[in-house]
Amino acid sequence: MSTQEYPSLVWHLKNTQLFEDLSEDDLEQLSRLTPYKRYKEGDIIYFMEDPADALYFIRDGMVKISMYFPNGKEMILALLGKYDVFGELLLLPSERRPNQAEAVMDTTLIVLPEEDFHKLLTTHPQIAMKFIQVMSTKLFQSQSWFAELGAFDAPGRLANLLLRLGNDFGVESERGTVIELNLTQQDLAKMIGATRETVSHCLARLLEFGAVRRRRSPIAVNMEKLQEFLDEANE
């Protein structure tokens, strides 16, 4: 795919946390290794158990990271947006993907093949340190999220999720903070480990509390009231 369709690939690489410290010359060389790849809404980027053979950076769009279980159930682990990185387990030898990545809207990725990434870490130690920082942050966020799953009941888990989504994807409007994602109640249920019916009841409770302004997608929330709801749940 031609990079001429977009602003400079070098510019996009510079705006990713991992490569922000590289020189222009280094970025120019790197851009030759990292083609754009486009995915339509619903396209699978990789399946569980696929070889971990590339690192991905989101140029635009959104990616859902999920796990599927033998009983057919799906657990949504993360929703990722612009400049987020995923596929990081390619550093482990002979590693297979432990999760599935899917484009939830038309999405453009910057793809860095495994072999080239290994060479880059060898020749640019500062990238190795930056990569450790990025992965440490992701690990901390993941641990925090799973701790919260155990600490709150379903309404608290949903309030916490909406607060996170509002911070990451919210746009201010007259209704409050609009989470500009096409999320169904079933999607929300898969993210907090609940049923769709439970999520429906939780949304009604949060609506009554004033923390949710609109229950249907795109969901609108009051961020201050969501935090207040969580603070009361912690008391």
Read off the pLDDT of residues 71-98 as tens digits, 9 standing for 90 and up: 888 999 888 988 888 988 766 665 788 8
Q: What is the pTM of this model?
A: 0.79
Q: How far apart, in whole angstroms, are the C-alpha atoms of residue 175 and residue 166?
A: 13
Q: Where are the domains of the chain?
A: 3-149, 153-234
Whole-number percent of the chain with pLDDT over 90: 43
Q: What is the pLDDT of residue 150?
A: 67
Q: How far apart, in whole angstroms, are the C-alpha atoms of residue 219 and residue 170?
A: 9
170 token code pair? 């919210």
**Per-residue pLDDT tens digits for 165-199:** 999 899 999 989 999 888 899 999 999 989 999 99
Confidence class of residue 107 from pLDDT cuts 50, 70 and 90? Answer: very high
**Per-residue pLDDT tens digits for 24-76:** 888 888 887 787 899 999 999 999 999 888 999 998 899 999 999 988 889 99
Integer Rg of the chain from CA: 19
**3-149: CATH number:** 2.60.120.10
Q: What is the pLDDT of residue 205?
A: 96
The conformation of residue 89, written as its DSSP 8-state character, comes to: G
Angle among Cα 90, 168, 80 to the nearest 5 degrees reads 25
Asked if CATH classification 3.40.50.880 holds for the domain at 153-234, the reply, yes or no, is no
Neighbouring C-alpha atoms within 13 Å toward the C-beta of 19: 28
224-235 mean pLDDT:
89
